[in-house]
C-alpha cells in the first residue's frame, strides 16, 4: 500500500482507539449499573443515555427528525440496516418503550447478550424452522400485550450500498396485533462505519421518522406484502441509496 493510502488510516487510528475505549468503558459501566435494577423502563433509559453519550463523545452527531410521527401508543418501527452502528443509533434515537428484535447470532456474544437481555431485546431465528416459529410466537405475545417493537426487516446488511428486500415478519406481527407501523430512515452510519471495515469515522447521522402507517387490515399475504412494500418505499425515498430489490 502506498504512503498516500496509509496516511488517512494513520490519522484515524488515535480516534479509533479513543472511540473504542470509550465505548467499552461505557458499555461495562452501564451493564454494571443496570444488572441490579428491576425496572425494564429504567434500564432502557440508562442504556439510551449511554448510547447518546457515546455518539456525542465519538463525534457522531445524531439528529432525530420528525419524532412527532411516533404514535402515543405502542407501534412497530422498521428501519433500514447498513452498519453495525445502527443498533446503537436506534437505541439512542427511540424512546425507551421499544424492544429491539435482533438476529439470534448476537446471543453468542457473552457481554452483548447480557446487556441486550437486560434491556428486553428479542432474539429471532432467521430460518423457517421450529425455532423461528417459536420466536415469532413470543414476539406476537409481546405485541399483543402492548409492547412496542423495533425491527431491521432486511435482516442483515451488505457492503454494497442500497436497500435490500424486506422480510415479512414485522408486518405479519403488525397485522396480527393490529399495530401501526412507523418506517424509519437511517442516514450516515454506512459512511461512519462501513460494512467490512473497522475504521470508524466521525460525522453526522440522521434518523428520520416517516408518517405512521395503519396496521395491515388482515394477515392475508396481499395485505402484508402491501404494508411491507409501502414501508420500504417510505424508507427508500429518504435514503441516498439505490433499490437493490
Are 207 and 99 spatial neighbours (Cβ–Cβ below 8 Å)?
no
Cell numbers 405502542: residue: 74
CA distance 106 to 152: 14
pLDDT above 80: residue 14: yes
pTM, 2 dp: 0.89
* Domains, the chain, with CATH or none: 3-236 (3.40.1130)
**Highest-confidence range of 6-15, 146-155, 194-203, 211-220, by mean pLDDT?**
211-220
Q: Kindly list the distances between the CA atom of residue 2 and the CA atoms of 8, 56, 194, 198, in Å, as whole numbers in the listed order.
A: 11, 33, 22, 20
Determine which of 2-11, 71-80, 99-108 has the lowest per-residue pLDDT on average. Answer: 2-11
CA distance 227 to 225: 5
What DSSP string describes 164-225?
-PPPSHHHHHHHHHT--EEEEEEESHHHHS-TT------EEEEEEEPPPBPPPSSSSHHHHH
Average pLDDT over residues 130-154: 81
- Starting at the edge strand that comes first in sequence, how are the strands of the sheet with 60-65 ordered? 60-65, 203-209, 181-187, 76-79, 148-151, 98-103, 122-124
- Chain-centroid distance, C-alpha 100: 7
pLDDT above 70: residue 132: no
What number of other Cβ atoms are within 10 A of residue 5's Cβ? 8
pLDDT above 50: residue 2: no
Three-state secondary-structure class, residue 99: strand
Share of the chain above pLDDT 90, in %: 72
Amino acid at each position: 500500500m502506498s504512503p498516500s493510502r496509509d496516511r488517512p488510516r494513520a490519522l484515524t487510528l488515535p480516534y479509533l482507539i479513543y472511540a473504542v475505549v470509550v465505548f467499552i468503558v461505557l458499555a461495562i459501566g452501564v451493564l454494571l449499573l443496570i444488572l441490579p435494577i428491576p425496572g425494564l423502563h429504567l434500564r432502557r433509559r440508562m442504556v439510551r443515555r449511554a448510547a447518546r453519550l457515546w455518539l456525542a463523545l465519538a463525534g457522531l452527531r445524531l439528529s432525530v427528525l420528525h419524532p412527532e410521527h411516533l404514535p402515543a401508543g405502542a407501534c412497530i418501527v422498521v428501519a433500514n440496516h447498513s452498519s453495525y452502528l445502527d443498533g446503537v443509533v436506534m437505541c439512542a434515537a427511540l424512546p425507551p418503550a421499544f424492544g429491539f428484535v435482533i438476529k439470534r447470532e448476537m446471543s453468542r456474544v457473552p457481554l452483548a447478550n447480557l446487556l441486550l437481555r437486560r434491556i428486553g431485546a428479542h432474539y429471532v431465528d432467521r430460518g423457517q424452522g421450529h425455532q423461528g416459529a417459536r420466536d415469532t410466537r413470543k414476539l406476537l405475545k409481546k405485541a399483543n400485550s402492548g409492547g412496542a417493537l423495533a425491527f431491521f426487516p432486511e435482516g442483515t446488511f451488505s457492503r454494497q450500498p442500497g436497500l435490500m428486500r424486506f422480510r415479512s415478519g414485522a408486518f405479519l406481527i403488525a397485522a396480527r396485533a393490529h399495530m401501526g407501523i412507523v418506517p424509519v430512515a437511517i442516514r450516515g452510519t454506512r459512511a461512519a462505519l462501513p460494512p467490512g471495515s473497522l475504521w470508524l469515522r466521525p460525522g453526522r447521522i440522521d434518523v428520520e421518522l416517516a408518517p405512521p402507517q395503519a396496521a395491515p387490515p388482515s394477515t392475508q399475504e396481499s395485505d402484508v406484502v402491501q404494508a411491507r412494500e409501502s414501508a420500504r418505499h417510505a424508507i427508500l425515498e429518504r435514503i441516498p441509496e439505490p433499490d437493490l430489490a
